[in-house]
């Protein structure tokens, strides 16, 4: 069993997909990017800070604690969850017809060990029709997603190319997670 410090239904779905039992726990931290913080440093810091917060609140001696953070970046800018439609429209206009990065960091804390892994993927969008941007927002799907979209959702029809980890783009890179679990001797089965 793992303690998953994330409320993300996508991360929970991915753990179930590979047969890992988990219990959801909380690990609230301030996720505001620091001034001039590079996207890669940001996503790694957030995953690590969540792991430290979770360990302080929960027993990490019996079960490993898993945390993750995913961010979308374009031209070295972090594209978080859209604040409103104008923010979402700005993101989609920038990403339309372009390639962006999705960075997913994990931190696995167990006893005195902290294993950190990173997945970097590249996603290319086709040109997004203006009517699609507005109708996609109306579905509600983009509201709680980094970069304003879900790779496994409605946006899939405009994803022209993916290089990297599909599960990492969803929010939990399973290959890197498996490596981290191997590092601490955790048997998935």
Short-list 25, 21, 98, CA closest to 67: 25
Active site residue 69: yes
Residues 6+ apart with CB under 8 A from 164: 102, 119, 120, 121, 122
Query: CB-based burial of residue 75 (10 Å sphere; 0-12 exposed, 13-18 middle, 19+ buried)?
Result: exposed
136, 69 in Cβ contact below 8 A? no
* Element (DSSP H or E) covering residue 119: strand 113-125
Annotated catalytic residue: which of 21, 69, 87, 112? Answer: 69
Pairing of strands 77-79, 22-24: unpaired
Helix crossing, 85-95 with 130-138: angle to 10°? 140
Catalytic residue positions, numbered: 69
């Amino acid at each position: 069993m793992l303690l998953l410090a994330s409320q993300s239904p996508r991360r929970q779905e991915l753990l179930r997909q590979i047969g890992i039992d988990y219990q959801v726990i909380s690990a609230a931290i301030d996720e505001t990017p620091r001034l001039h913080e590079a996207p890669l440093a940001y996503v790694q810091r957030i995953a690590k800070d969540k792991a430290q917060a979770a360990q302080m609140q929960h027993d990490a001696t019996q079960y490993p604690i898993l945390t993750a953070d995913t961010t979308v970046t374009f031209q070295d800018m972090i594209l978080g969850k859209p604040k409103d439609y104008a923010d979402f429209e700005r993101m989609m206009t920038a990403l339309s017809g372009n390639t962006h990065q999705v960075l997913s960091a994990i931190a696995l804390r167990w006893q005195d060990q902290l294993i950190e892994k990173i997945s970097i993927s590249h996603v290319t969008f086709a040109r997004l029709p203006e009517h699609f941007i507005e109708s996609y927002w109306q579905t509600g799907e983009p509201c709680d997603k980094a970069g304003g979209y879900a790779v496994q959702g409605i946006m899939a029809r405009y994803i022209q190319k993916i290089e990297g980890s599909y599960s990492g783009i969803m929010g939990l890179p399973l290959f890197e997670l498996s490596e981290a679990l191997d590092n601490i001797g955790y048997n998935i089965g």
